[in-house]
Amino acid sequence: MSDSVRVLHVVTHMDCGGLETMIMNYYRKIDRSKIQFDFLTHRPDSEVKDYDNDIKKLGGRIYHLPRLNPFSYRYRRALESFFDAHKEYKIIHVHQDCMSGLILKIAKKKGIPIRIAHCHSSNQDKNIKYLIKYMYKQLIPKYATGLFACGEIAGEWMFGKNVKFVVLPNAIDTDAYVFSNDKRILIRKELGLPENAFVIGHVGRFSKVKNHRFIIELCELVLKQNRNTYVLFVGQGDLLEETREIVMKKHLENVIKFLGLRNDVPDLMQAMDVFVLPSLYEGLPVSVIEAQASGLPCIISENVPLDCAITDLVKQVELDTLSWARATIQLKDVERRNTQEKIKKAGFDIIDNALYLEKYYLSNLTNK
């Protein structure tokens, strides 16, 4: 382990969000005798995050900076001081959206030879905060030595249509998601779901972009057609309690189940009948890849790039609750099937992708 190359991943935090889960999928499968991941976060060290213990068990280190503020001298100084104190890092892999430009600029100033920007999203809200981000994203191609994106659409949005970048898939362990009817029956029993329940599922952080309110309204409409409908919410986030309150006010607490953060998402997906993602914007959501790998029919909003549709199980529907209710009910009796080979052929199996990333790091380091 001491001879492994340490790659510094720069993130906001390591909660169980899509971006963080994607990084951990690669971390678990990469050859850690050759490559080790460390993490530079933007939250106080008093905030223990979901993946912190896993990172430490795998041999990773976690460092902390103040919240990212491009106008803060304190933040810039903290980042420069970190690089001054940790000259062991020759590779920095930044997952900070448009603001990666600022971090990459300082990393170049401090002599870090390999500087990777990684885009995980696209088409964000057009407000003052976005305009500031837009200004900083122009710096990315100038200061990055490598550009990664979760998909073609996200990469073109972040880096430009005429800029070359690598699509690194939000890959998963396909073996874990293969559909099993026996497991489906067991998980439903554990969750207290009736055997013949119609189960709508969603996995995602409780934030505005994931649009949980829409799913609650969808549930209300579907219940009018099928009183045996249930919703599973998997995840946590800033809007969790607010979402719970909405559910309580609508008297839906018996049909909408909050499962919190789980490390058994592959099993939970066995219990679902339809997966929904009415996001306001996305990059290439790993949750939709996971759902397809488990044979689940999926409904996504027009804000979710269609390059996540790697099987015929995905249907894109405009954000209208009536349209979604009709589409959801139509998918009620879709027969589950094994899609593992399709997922692998589409390039989303973690084994091959972890090997590619490992080679990318090592070959670029050799060339510097």
The rounded distance, in Å, linking the Cα atoms of 64 and 52 is 12
pLDDT of 2 higher than 70? no
The tens digit of pLDDT for each residue in 238-286 reads: 999 999 999 999 999 999 999 998 889 999 999 999 999 999 988 888 9
Predicted local confidence at residue 335, as pLDDT: 92
In 167-257, alpha helices (H) = 181-190, 212-225, 240-249
The residue ranges of every structural domain in the chain are 5-171+349-366, 174-345
Please name the residue that has the structure tokens 């405009």. Answer: 318
- In degrees, rounded to 5, the angle at the alpha carbon of residue 203 between the alpha carbons of residues 200 and 208 is 105
Predicted local confidence at residue 8, as pLDDT: 98
- Average of per-residue pLDDT across 13-31: 90
Contact 172, 150 (CB under 8 A): no
The rounded distance, in Å, linking the Cα atoms of 252 and 341 is 38
Contact 48, 41 (CB under 8 A): no
Longest alpha-carbon distance in the chain: 63
End-to-end CA gap in the chain: 22
pLDDT of 128 higher than 70? no
Predicted local confidence at residue 314, as pLDDT: 97
- Average of per-residue pLDDT across 154-171: 91
The CATH code that applies to domain 174-345 is 3.40.50.2000
- Average of per-residue pLDDT across 189-209: 95
The CATH code that applies to domain 5-171+349-366 is 3.40.50.2000
Contact 270, 183 (CB under 8 A): yes
Predicted local confidence at residue 17, as pLDDT: 78
pTM: 0.83
Predicted local confidence at residue 74, as pLDDT: 94
More confident residue, 127 or 328: 328
Is residue 127 very low, low, confident or very high in pLDDT (cuts 50, 70, 90)?
Answer: very low
What's the chain's average pLDDT?
A: 93
